[in-house]
Amino acid sequence: MKKKAPVVKNQEFDATVIDLTYEGNGVVKVDDFPIFVANAVPGEEIRVGITKVAGTYAFGRVIKTLKESADRNKDVDVATLTTGIAPLAHLNYDAQLRFKQNQIQELFKKQHVDVEVSETLGMENPTGYRNKAQIPTRELRGELTTGFFRRGSHNLMPIEDFYIQDPEIDKAIVVIRDILRKYHIPAYNEFEHTGVIRNIMVRRGYYSHEMMVVLVTRSKKVPGAEMIVADIREALPEVKSIIQNVNQEKTNVILGEKNNTLWGKDVITDTLFGKKFVIGPNSFYQVNPQTTETLYQLAADKAGLTGDEEVIDAYSGIGTISLTIADRVKSVLGVEVVPGAVDDAKRNADINGVNNAKFELGKAEEKMVEWHEAGMRPDVIFVDPPRKGLTPELIDAATGMEPEKFVYISCNPATLARDTVQILENGYHIQGPVQPIDQFPQTTHIESVTVFVKD
């Protein structure tokens, strides 16, 4: 018989926080029954209030902190931040770095993979780093409002200081919000699927200081577009590109496929290792420009490139990895699924005078199989997949080509650990420790580099 939950809604009691989940919630237990509590640090004693009871677990909130942990970050308004944009902001930065190293260790252990994980490489100033914002807009009290969704919901909390975003971007969001208010442009209503502005996306080049503003709209037209553009240009001189992106679907996906350039360029530029990159609105670009160079440098160094290698760069985005290693290899072949990103990658090769890099449009898992069947024999394969990781077919095809090295850049240690099992089975071993790099301070996201070498 199913055991009855030992707690009920609204119950209050004192407890010690014993663990932290992948989502950054504290864990307290009653008779082994776990209760997840936001803004609670392991070691703390708290008064918990039960907010929701599910089958095998419950959620609670901190009513009062009775004993505080030394790992607590007291410098921020964590009540706001932990609800969405910065779920680890209640930990001090050292504790965050340890949390990330530990997560990777635990996930490998679960897969029975014995591997060393280095200390997480962190940032000196782990706030204000994001070069991109995608801010939802909703009508609150009759006004277009910008902010952030409360964790696990679509309730917009008005916020102006986003803490982890480039402060210039935070300022721009407020300016754009006020311009949209001035012209009474209605925000999106997701229940009725009405209104105009769904999101405001802003990107700012870290070195170039070029800004791109993307207004994501439900409607095909933006009423008063000319006046809005004129006001944005006047108020934000860094803006080099103003784009309307149309997304008419009922979806949580932010960007639609259609872009209209309302004013200026259709891309902005930024630099990495002194090379110039154009970045279009639908293209992926690493959000933490300060650690990206460290990440790529590490991946390239660990691959031990000598200048003779034929390389595959799978999930190549706008070609940043390919083009930054191009002068250390014989040739590099990228594959990427977003057409705009492949266009950017080709443009980026041209701009930087790189002629040993090629980019193909397609799914990495399909291209890898094609290349394997065609008898391709790369020396090194880099993969940098999205959170869902690799597919078994991709791993079989990639290892089937028998590269000497297989460098896995991962933004999700759960799928990394899962994929590692198959890569090891296919005749590879891990070289040196796995290296976590903190691309996403204050959040639960974890980036790492793992190098596999042919047995």
Cα 162 to Cα 159: distance, rounded to the nearest angstrom: 7
Q: How far is the CB of 334 from ligand SAH (least distance, A)?
A: 8
Cβ partners under 8 Å of residue 274, min gap 6 = none
Using CA atoms of 140, 146, 151, 154 in order, give the dihedral in degrees to the nearest 10: 50
Q: Which is nearer to ligand SAH, 317 or 378 (CB)?
A: 317
Strand partners, 277: 270
Angle value at C-alpha 330, between 346 and 284, nearest 5 degrees: 35
Q: Which is nearer to ligand SAH, 170 or 384 (CB)?
A: 384
Beta strands 310-314; 380-383: pairing state: parallel
Please indicate if the annotation marks 183 as binding a ligand: no
Catalytic positions, please?
A: 411
Q: Three-state SS for 294? A: helix
Cβ partners under 8 Å of residue 122, min gap 6 = 93, 96, 97, 438, 441
Cα 162 to Cα 131: distance, rounded to the nearest angstrom: 12
Residue 290 in contact with residue 129, Cβ under 8 Å? yes
Name the residue number minimizing CB distance to ligand SAH. 317
Interaction mask 375-414, ligand SAH, x per CB under 6 A = ---------x-x----------------------------
Give the distance from CA 373 to its chain's centroid: 33
Interaction mask 308-327, ligand SAH, x per CB under 6 A = -------xxx--xx------
Which one of 39-47, 235-243, 278-286, 425-433 is the stretch in contact with ligand SAH (CB under 6 A)? Answer: 278-286
Largest Cα–Cα distance in the chain? 69
Q: Which is nearer to ligand SAH, 86 or 345 (CB)?
A: 345
- Tell me the Ramachandran region of residue 56: left when phi exceeds 0, alpha when psi lies from -120 to 50, beta otherwise: alpha
Q: How far is the CB of 335 from ligand SAH (least distance, A)?
A: 6
Using CB under 6 A as the binding rule, whether residue 254 contacts ligand SAH is answered as no
Which one of 80-88, 105-113, 283-291, 299-307 is the stretch in contact with ligand SAH (CB under 6 A)? Answer: 283-291
Cα 327 to Cα 324: distance, rounded to the nearest angstrom: 7
Residue 108 in contact with residue 115, Cβ under 8 Å? yes
Interaction mask 56-95, ligand SAH, x per CB under 6 A = ----------------------------------------
Q: Which is nearer to ligand SAH, 90 or 405 (CB)?
A: 405
Cα 315 to Cα 308: distance, rounded to the nearest angstrom: 22
| Interacting residue with ligand SAH among 286, 288, 324, 415 (CB under 6 A) | 286
Q: How far is the CB of 318 from ligand SAH (least distance, A)?
A: 6
Q: How far is the CB of 259 from ligand SAH (least distance, A)?
A: 16
Interaction mask 205-244, ligand SAH, x per CB under 6 A = ----------------------------------------
Residue 130 in contact with residue 166, Cβ under 8 Å? yes
Q: How far is the CB of 306 from ligand SAH (least distance, A)?
A: 22
Angle value at C-alpha 181, between 235 and 127, nearest 5 degrees: 60
| Interface size with ligand SAH, residues (CB under 6 A) | 18
Cα 359 to Cα 346: distance, rounded to the nearest angstrom: 7
Residue for token pair 């800004």: 211
Q: Which is nearer to ligand SAH, 210 or 336 (CB)?
A: 336
Q: How far is the CB of 321 from ligand SAH (least distance, A)?
A: 5
Amino acid at 341: A
Residue 46 in contact with residue 37, Cβ under 8 Å? yes
Which one of 87-95, 136-144, 181-189, 280-288 is the stretch in contact with ligand SAH (CB under 6 A)? Answer: 280-288
Question: Which positions from 325 through 364 interact with ligand SAH, judged by CB under 6 A?
Answer: 335-338, 341, 363-364
Q: Which is nearer to ligand SAH, 98 or 445 (CB)?
A: 445
Alpha helices in 36-159 (DSSP H): 78-81, 93-110
Which one of 56-64, 160-168, 195-203, 281-289 is the stretch in contact with ligand SAH (CB under 6 A)? Answer: 281-289
Please indicate if the annotation marks 286 as binding a ligand: yes
Please indicate if the annotation marks 178 as binding a ligand: no
Residue for token pair 């198959």: 422
Cα 174 to Cα 172: distance, rounded to the nearest angstrom: 5
Q: How far is the CB of 221 from ligand SAH (least distance, A)?
A: 28
Alpha helices in 5-150 (DSSP H): 78-81, 93-110
Q: How far is the CB of 391 from ligand SAH (least distance, A)?
A: 8
Task: Return the closest-CA partner of residue 200 out of 153, 156, 142, 264.
Answer: 156
Q: Which is nearer to ligand SAH, 147 or 317 (CB)?
A: 317
Q: Which is nearer to ligand SAH, 337 or 351 (CB)?
A: 337
| Binding-site annotation, residues for S-adenosyl-L-methionine | 286, 315, 336, 384
Contact set with ligand SAH (CB under 6 A): 284-286, 315-317, 320-321, 335-338, 341, 363-365, 384, 386
| Binding-site annotation, residues | 286, 315, 336, 384
